[in-house]
Amino acid sequence: MCRHPRLAGPRLPPRKKVRGGARGPRKGRSVSDAPRSSHEPPKTALCLPGGGLTGALYQIGALAALADGVRGVDGQSFSLYLGQSSGASVAAALAGGIPVDRLYRALLDPVDNFFPLERSHVFRMDIDEWRRALSTSWVAIRHALARLSSSRDPVSPAAPGHLYLWEQIDRLADSLPAGFFTLDRYERFLAEFFLRRGIPNAFRAMPRPLRIPTYDVDCGDRILFGAEGHEDIPVSLACAASLALPPFFSPIRIGDRHYIDGGLGDVAHLDVAAEAGVEFAVVVNPMVPVSVAHRAVPTGHGVRQSVRDKGLFWVMNQAMRIGTHARLAQNVEQIQQKTGMHVLVLEPEPTDVLLFLHNPSNLAARRAILEYAYRTTRERIAEWMEKRRGVVARLGWEAA
């Protein structure tokens, strides 16, 4: 375990005490420290794991269906917002007050510039990292040449020569870049988006509690940005840190620490919600393994029959989906047994994940994912409310 000093950053002026006000925890107050009457509905949490652009599309479509399917529930109805990887940006927008139907319309309409994200905002080559890789490669080559000139390994002089050669070549592995792309431009884009849309870029100023998990690359500790001791950095920077998935994106440096994707360990981080006193959590998980089921697989070189035909990146994506889905199921079961928390998991059917194989730059593919998420979630919400009437009554939910 490593120690994490309190992160430095701009501090907001002290708040004036306000009497009365809207229901729920006040700004700058933790989720669990506000006294609650026994007549108040239970605390709820919205958990948004990652899943890339297609995952964010699914989450927004599903949440729009939840808002339309349950009277009085919308994207701002939760006591706590948890988001990591691509889900962190969605959670931040919702916690900051952006209506989910506005996000839905923005992603559905190609001429709507409400959220003008471009490919170049995310996939920008990390020039500094590649420069470091080149300079350290030259140093490694010099060391290797110096050792090879001695002809023998001084520790094991009887070792075969080819093994000694490969040992020197392996030095170059430590000079590979820590990531291909940088998220600096995405962080700036997100900060500008927050500014234009009136979303606070400070955790303390957020109208609803927001937590963004990441992992410290130098010790493996989970860091919860927005929690005590880690609330003094911009929300946009925390979102970028939680999105830094190896090997695609370089770790995000904050202070003297480096952070990577918040979904690499836990998936929904339901333990955070449990510690905050949450009794009911909604998890919108787009990371379900693809089941081809003898159906056509779209690729850039024609229609094929296997995920393998989509190449390295999609085989990696499928591997991540398998691991993420299994960890989430285990996490939900454990938290329910340990705390009694009710958890509603909204996710696509494995055979329907074929929609996610299409290029998200294609507007028709975006529309198909949004509409599929909306339609199927409306159906599942209605079925769940019928089966869980006791929980629904405790929440105060009513079918729309």
Of 68, 126, 216, 261, the catalytic one is 261
d(CA 84, CA 268): 8
Name 194's Cβ contacts closer than 8 Å, sequence gap at least 6. 92, 96, 200, 201, 235, 236
Known active-site residue 85: yes
d(CA 256, CA 218): 11
Omega of the bond leading into 247 within 30 degrees of 0 (cis): yes
Taking phi over 0 as left and psi of -120 to 50 as alpha, with beta for the rest, 10 belongs to: beta
Of 85, 89, 236, 250, the catalytic one is 85
Name the 3-class secondary structure at 280: strand
Name 180's Cβ contacts closer than 8 Å, sequence gap at least 6. 125, 126, 247, 248, 249, 250
According to DSSP H, which parts of 213-295 are helical? 235-243, 270-275
Known active-site residue 184: no
184, two tokens: 């600096």
Q: What angle do CA 12, 13, 14 make, to 5 degrees?
A: 115
Do the Cβ atoms of 323 and 363 come closer than 8 Å?
Answer: no
51, two tokens: 């899943």
Q: Between the CA of residue 69 and those of 59, 85, 109, 384, 392, what are the distances in Å?
A: 15, 27, 22, 11, 13
Q: What angle do CA 218, 220, 223 make, to 5 degrees?
A: 100
Q: Around Cβ 303, how many Cβ atoms within 10 Å?
A: 10
Q: Around Cβ 9, how many Cβ atoms within 10 Å?
A: 15
Residues acting as catalytic residues: 85, 261
